[in-house]
Amino acid sequence: MKISFPRMGYSYIAFKWLVENLGHECIVPPEPSNHTLDLGVRYAPEFACIPFKILLGTYIEVAQMGAQAVITSGGMGPCRAGYYWVMHKYLLEEMGLPMQIIAMEMPLLNLGDFWGKINRLRRSGGVSLKELARILKITWEKVKAIDDIEIRSHQVRPLEVKRGDTTRAINEGLAFIDAAQREHEIAEARQEALARLDRVPQDQSRNPLKIGIIGEIYVVLEPAANHYIQLLLGEMGVETDRSIYLSAYARKNTIVNLEGDLFAIARPYLNEAPIGGHGVNSIAETILYARHGFDGVVQLAPFSCIPEIVAKSIIPAVSRDFDIPVQTIFIDEQTGRAGVQTRLEAFVDLLQWRRSRRETVVEKRVLQG
Amino acid sequence: MYRVGIPRSLAYFFYLPLWKTFITELGHEVIESPPTSRAILDRGVKEAVNDACIPIKLYHGHAAYLAERCDLLFCPRLVSVRKHGDFGSETFCPKFLGLPDMVRLALNPLPPLIDVRIDLKQPRTGLWDAACEVGQKLGHGQAEIKRALRLAQAAQQSFRNLCQRGVLVPDALEAVLNGKKVSPKATPGHDLTIAVVGYPYVIYDPYINAGLFKILQEEGVNIVTQDMLTDQILNWQARELPKTLFWYFSNRAVYGGLHFMKKGRVDGMIHVTAFACGPDSMVDRLLEIEVRRRSSMPYLAIAVDEHTGEAGVRTRVEAFLDMLRYQRKGK
């Protein structure tokens, strides 16, 4: 069977490997482009959020490339994303595109359904159970390695001497991961990729601003949906940390990980959790970034995203209490790159000014004291 | 004695008999905000977060009106009212879940909120717990609360009964709370029956939908809504969908729509949706596709926002009715 999946950042490298090793042909989803979005906007309901439209556009594109099925995620609400697959199915049927949608509901809710779907994919691909375990393990290793490399790149980019060096290095590094077939090869590829990033000529005298990126998972993870915001900020000389990584649950070294803590942190501001999507998370993550000494936070969300609107209405209070500036950017099909860039530049200017003011205050104190 | 304010928006059209009777029976005064007006809408638009949908902005407007006139503001956190759905996790739109917090941060001055968390997944104890919390906030003991809750539930039940006998929700509210006489009989001379589905706070608020019901009644149309169906009939429809929706009011609208398109004996269906409503972006297209697949029933979607004018709605409704009558003549 020819199988495809939604594209989210660099994770496609790992999922491509998964599908191919399950014995199916993988149609790698193209990076979302204006064409993808146009297709999605044409057929999607007007007020659907932008991830819905981009995914629909992607499904149409991969259908034209020959995909017979897409694997996607389900959900239990109250975020709309859990109902995406049903609406996508309706819409694709209306368009007359024969496409099977394999939606993975949360295993905790319906383990039988989850296992059944994986098992069907396994059997139709002719893979043994033992083999399946190995494949899943390696996919997971790849996801983790990709995230490690990406995290490092966002630290290196603001220091790079020649613009574009980091981007070239990360692309080379990801190619190593893509080529790796076994666990130890992935470990080696990861080392080599990280080393390449470290070898990028850097100006260590810079003290980059630090910005945390929070918000809705899809627009945070997919650079094409958020106008390459981490790249833009990196090239402006800003170090970014983002709250969501696919492998976040397994790591302890990132600033944001386990959800239970997040709900407790957000409780003084929002006495209910979860409210769907990453609404509560956004509130808690703003607090965490403030505590970790970040200079500012950028909230990314699709236009009309319900949980993030709730978060947005509460974040001003958090921003005031913790003295951390927050820039909210709602993204829809009308959002232009220049608009995003202008707002970011203004925001970075503001942060720079705040920092220099704080430093002058400190200097004065030192001189007087 | 406290003056307790209940904003006339969102779940107002759904729980008013229960909570109004409960609070009145405990010996307090209930102040409802007046029907939506331009002033209330403008106030809401000013106070609420700019990306919110119209109903949420309206709620802020109503709450702001009451804030200066009451001692306590009734603003419950509706989490769920039943165990339903594919995962038994039916809830409300996230904006309902965060409502008390949003209102608290948006409005100043603001009296203390009664932000009771209503989660009736445990049907036995859920409502009792909520009633106790409200009663204790108002300074009452269990015996009084028990008595008031019994009367309140009776009022809510007679309200539901009236609705299910075919009385429109605004009339049923008047009948139960103010003793106005209503009859569920269809008006003689009306030749069309139209199903209006949508959220209670959109279809029963005549300001925000530009007087849709009045227009329809003037044009000789009998109106039926999803609230006239029993829960049993509604829930029966869940099996028609690949997956149930997550939101209580959306499920009701979709189930009602499915029932009417299958065997509702109605001539057409109107879905009223609010601009930028998240769940409705799914509900509207779902109904549109289902109605085309299952029936030949004409379907009209009306999206309302703060600029909706009466003329615009009237024109679209008249065109829709002309088409229905023309079609009928052709048969």
- Distance in Å, alpha carbon of A308 to nearest chain B alpha carbon: 9
Interface residue of B51, B199, B202 to substitute, partner A, most A CBs within 10 Å? B51
> β-pairing, A296-302 with B117-119?
unpaired
Facing residues of B268 across strands? B194
Average pLDDT by stretches of 10, chain B with 331 residues: 91 91 92 93 90 91 92 92 85 91 90 90 86 90 91 92 90 87 75 91 91 91 91 90 91 93 87 88 92 90 86 92 88 67
Q: Give A-chain residues touching B44 at CB under 8 angstroms.
A: none
> Are A309 and B52 inside 8 Å of each other by CB?
yes
Residue of A24, A84, A23, A78 whose CA lies nearest to A51: A84
Same domain for B59 and B89? yes
Q: Which helix (H) or strand (E) holds B227?
A: none
Strand ranges across the sheet with B221-225:
B221-225, B192-198, B268-274, B299-304
- Distance in Å, alpha carbon of A169 to nearest chain B alpha carbon: 39
pLDDT tens series, chain A, 369 aa? 899 999 998 999 999 999 999 999 999 999 999 999 999 999 999 888 899 999 999 999 999 999 999 999 888 878 888 889 999 999 999 999 888 998 888 777 778 888 888 888 888 888 898 999 999 999 999 999 999 999 999 999 999 999 999 999 999 999 999 999 999 999 999 999 999 999 999 999 989 999 999 999 899 999 999 999 999 999 999 999 988 887 775 555 455 555 557 888 888 898 887 888 888 889 999 998 998 889 999 999 998 888 999 999 999 999 999 999 999 999 988 888 899 999 999 999 999 999 998 888 777 777 665
Name the phi and psi angles at A73, rounded to 5: -105, 155
Q: Which DSSP string do the residues of A234-259 spell out, in sequence order?
A: HHTTEEEEES--TTGGG-SSSS---H
The residue written with tokens 């006495």 in the block is: A271
Q: In this structure, is residue B178 part of a structural domain?
A: no
Closest CB from B52, B77, B247 relative to A78: B247
Same domain for B207 and B266? yes
Q: In this structure, is residue B169 part of a structural domain?
A: no
> Are B51 and A307 inside 8 Å of each other by CB?
no
Instruction: Mark out chain B residues that contact chain A at CB-CB < 8 A.
Output: 48-49, 51-53, 77, 79, 86-87, 89, 91-95, 97-98, 100-102, 105-106, 115, 117, 241-243, 245-247, 275-282, 284-286, 289
> Are B286 and A87 inside 8 Å of each other by CB?
yes
- Distance in Å, alpha carbon of B249 to nearest chain A alpha carbon: 12
- Distance in Å, alpha carbon of B61 to nearest chain A alpha carbon: 15
Going from N- to C-terminal start, the domains of chain A cover 2-127, 137-205, 208-369
Q: In this structure, is residue B211 part of a structural domain?
A: yes
Same domain for B144 and B242? no
Q: In this structure, is residue B116 part of a structural domain?
A: yes
Same domain for B143 and B229? no
Contact B75, B110 (CB under 8 A): no
> Are A48 and B282 inside 8 Å of each other by CB?
yes
Same domain for B16 and B92? yes
Same domain for B199 and B325? yes
- Distance in Å, alpha carbon of B101 to nearest chain A alpha carbon: 6
Q: Which residue of B has its CA nearest to A329?
A: B51
CA distance A14 to A247: 12
State the pLDDT at residue B21: 93
Under DSSP, the state recorded for A146 is H
Same domain for B154 and B269? no
Same domain for B139 and B227? no
Closest CB from B102, B242, B246 relative to A78: B246
The total domain count for chain B is 2
Burial class (CB in 10 A: 0-12, 13-18, 19+), A94: middle
CA distance B88 to B175: 34
Same domain for B141 and B223? no
Closest CB from B98, B117, B278 relative to A304: B278
CA distance A201 to A292: 27
**Can you tell me the ipTM of this complex?**
0.89
Looking at chain A, list the stretches that DSSP marks H as alpha helix, in order from N- to C-terminal side. 12-21, 34-43, 50-64, 84-95, 111-125, 129-156, 165-179, 183-199, 217-221, 229-235, 259-266, 279-291, 306-322, 337-368
CA distance A75 to A84: 9
Which tokens hold the place of A141? Answer: 């290793």
Close Cβ partners of B267 (under 8 Å, ≥ 6 residues apart): B192, B193, B194, B297, B298, B324, B328
Interface residue of A88, A283, A309, A326 to substitute, partner B, most B CBs within 10 Å? A309
Q: How many CB pairs below 8 Å do chains A and B form together?
A: 118
Residue B263 sits in a domain of what CATH number?
A: 3.40.50.11900
Out of B116, B134, B164, a domain closes at B164
How many CB atoms are located within 10 Å of the residue A150 CB?
Answer: 19
Q: Give B-chain residues touching A314 at CB under 8 angstroms.
A: 98, 101-102, 105
Interface residue of A46, A88, A114, A306 to substitute, partner B, most B CBs within 10 Å? A306
Stated pTM of the model = 0.90
Out of B133, B164, B195, a domain closes at B164
Contact B118, B76 (CB under 8 A): yes
> Are A270 and B101 inside 8 Å of each other by CB?
yes
Residue of A241, A245, A218 whose CA lies nearest to A301: A218
The residue written with tokens 């014995």 in the block is: A23
Taking the mean position of all CA atoms in its chain, how far away is CA A320?
A: 27
Q: Give B-chain residues touching A74 at CB under 8 angstroms.
A: 243
Return the CATH class of domain A208-369: alpha beta
- Distance in Å, alpha carbon of B203 to nearest chain A alpha carbon: 19
CA distance B40 to B69: 14
- Distance in Å, alpha carbon of B241 to nearest chain A alpha carbon: 9
Q: In this structure, is residue B29 part of a structural domain?
A: yes
State the pLDDT at residue A250: 57
> Are A269 and B101 inside 8 Å of each other by CB?
yes
Same domain for B241 and B325? yes
CATH domain A2-127 topology: Rossmann fold (3.40.50)
Q: Say if A2-127 and A208-369 have the same CATH topology.
A: yes
Q: Which residue of B has its CA nearest to A305?
A: B278
How many CB atoms are located within 10 Å of the residue A252 CB?
Answer: 6
| Sign of the CA dihedral with B307 first, then B310, B315, and B319 last | positive
Domain of residue B305, residue span: 186-330
Same domain for B92 and B206? no
Same domain for B139 and B264? no
User: B247 by DSSP, 3-state: which?
Assistant: strand
Q: Which helix (H) or strand (E) holds B262?
A: helix B248-263
